Amino acid sequence: MSYDEFNDQEPRPIRMMENLAIAALVLALLSFVSPQVGMIGRGLRTAVPALLVSMVAISRVDRSAFPQAFLRFRMVFLLGLLFLTQALIRFLFVPDHPMDLVHTYVVGPLLTFCFLLWFAALSELGDPVIDRMRSWLLIGWCLSFAVSLPVLISNPGVARLTMGNPNQVANAARWAPYGVAEYTGYTTIAICLSPLLGALGPMSRLLRWPSFLLVMLAVLAVLFSTFTMASAMAVLSLGAMLLVWSIAGRGPARVLRFLVVIMMAALVPTLFVLANSFEQTKFVVEKTERLTRNISNKGLSKGDETERGAWFTNEMSAFAEEPFLGYIPGTTGMRGHGHSSLSNSLVLFGLFGTLLWIGTLLKVFRDSFEHARGRYDRHILLVCWTVFILSGVLNPIWYSCAALAALFALTLPARQVQDFPPDWS
């Protein structure tokens, strides 16, 4: 019996199974991106049972969903298997290697492929199920960050105590119930900002405006977190989405939207001054000014107060020693500083492993782009993946299960054959 026939005969049981699959899958993802859910059962403790429940529910609705999802991304899984094999060989034969490298470059990608398979299987159930899942994820995720605003406002820089600090684990546990996250959480919000705004479209008008408010509150949490790169990526995403929104208008609406964009651009200097007057955002503004001034005066490696330029130069020197397969124990050694996915990939895995991982992600992007429902969704894809690439150049985010799983959840479209021109609005 086909899915459509089953859906026609038993709409209520099917609807219940769909909702169960969505709820379990959203919970699994929130265990990685929500500070509160992560505190209760971070990662595998929540994700594994939730993924199993969602698998049963999805298979109950459509038995072919998971086989079809696997066939859809079989090349992605093949390239991913080759990358994971190289990563395992790399770390298994390195004495006293840091376990965080294994977690970042092996466990993270492995979980990413699991989420890709599950979201692809869910997408086999059609666009309405995907839209419902995205709305639930938006509300749960953004609400999780919105509740942190009072803490971030009254304790400037508190989010920075959750990383790069001897007491970071205790600090993270202390502040997680209030929605305060470490830098990956805020960077992930910035990367996924455009598809989060895109998820508002299919919502009812009654739900759309409260959800839009939640998204904006989550953006404020990113800005008040004092993480410079995450804030910069959030501002970039907002600016790009304003342009996408203006282009999506038709007739007189397009003219009005362009006027709004022009007015917002004119307000940028005022907003910059306003941000410099608040202690919570002044840190980011001053750091950006120092970074720009010092690079222009002293050069990339000497003038960068964050030392990213000097680290990048050092890592490229290590890459030049073993450019094809990456570092060899006892030859190049561990010289990565963990502040750039691009440079770390080249140092650890060389061109071979780096191109494997880039090819893996490119395959996912290409599939999403080809099956997008229209030009608006394609623009959203271009924005969020551009921000994702830039974030990986500036931060270690390319292998993040949280960032990639959220990106797949919010952008992976249903595979469908259209016998009519796509909607270009």
Closest by CA position to 1, among listed 15, 20, 16, 14 = 14
Environment class of residue 270 by beta-carbon count within 10 Å: exposed (0-12), middle (13-18) or buried (19+)? Answer: exposed
pLDDT at 356: 92
Q: What is the pTM of this model?
A: 0.84
Could you give the angle at the alpha carbon of 175 between the alpha carbons of 24 and 136, nearest 5°? 25
Other C-beta atoms within 10 Å of 274: how many? 12
Amino acid identity at 245: W
Consecutive H or E run containing 393: helix 375-394
Q: pLDDT in tens for each of the 425 residues of the chain?
A: 444 444 444 477 888 899 999 999 999 999 999 988 887 766 677 888 999 999 999 999 999 999 999 999 999 999 999 999 988 887 776 665 566 677 888 889 999 999 999 999 999 998 999 999 999 999 999 999 999 989 888 887 788 777 766 777 787 778 888 888 888 899 999 999 999 999 998 888 889 999 999 999 999 999 888 888 888 899 889 888 888 777 766 667 666 766 766 766 665 666 665 655 666 565 555 555 555 555 544 545 454 555 666 667 677 777 767 777 777 554 444 555 557 888 888 888 888 888 999 999 999 999 999 998 888 889 999 999 999 999 988 888 999 999 999 999 999 998 764 433 344 33
- Give the pLDDT of residue 424: 34
- Non-local (6+) Cβ contacts of 126 within 8 A are 414, 416
CB 73 within 8 A of CB 365: no
CB atoms within 10 A of CB 263: 9
Using CA atoms in the order 396, 357, 388, 392, what is the torsion angle rounded to 10 degrees?
Answer: 30
Residue 288's H or E segment, with its range, is helix 279-298
The candidate with the shortest Cα–Cα distance to 229, out of 276, 190, 277, is 190
pLDDT for the residue numbered 404: 95
Cα(415)–Cα(367) distance, rounded to whole angstroms? 9
The tokens of 270 are what?
């005022």
> Structural domain boundaries of the chain?
1-63, 72-411
Give, in order, the Cα–Cα distances in Å from 312 to each of 294, 334, 347, 398, 399: 16, 14, 10, 16, 18
Query: Residues, the chain, total?
Result: 425
Residue with tokens 């939640």: 214
Per DSSP, the chain holds a count of helices (H) and strands (E) of 23, 0
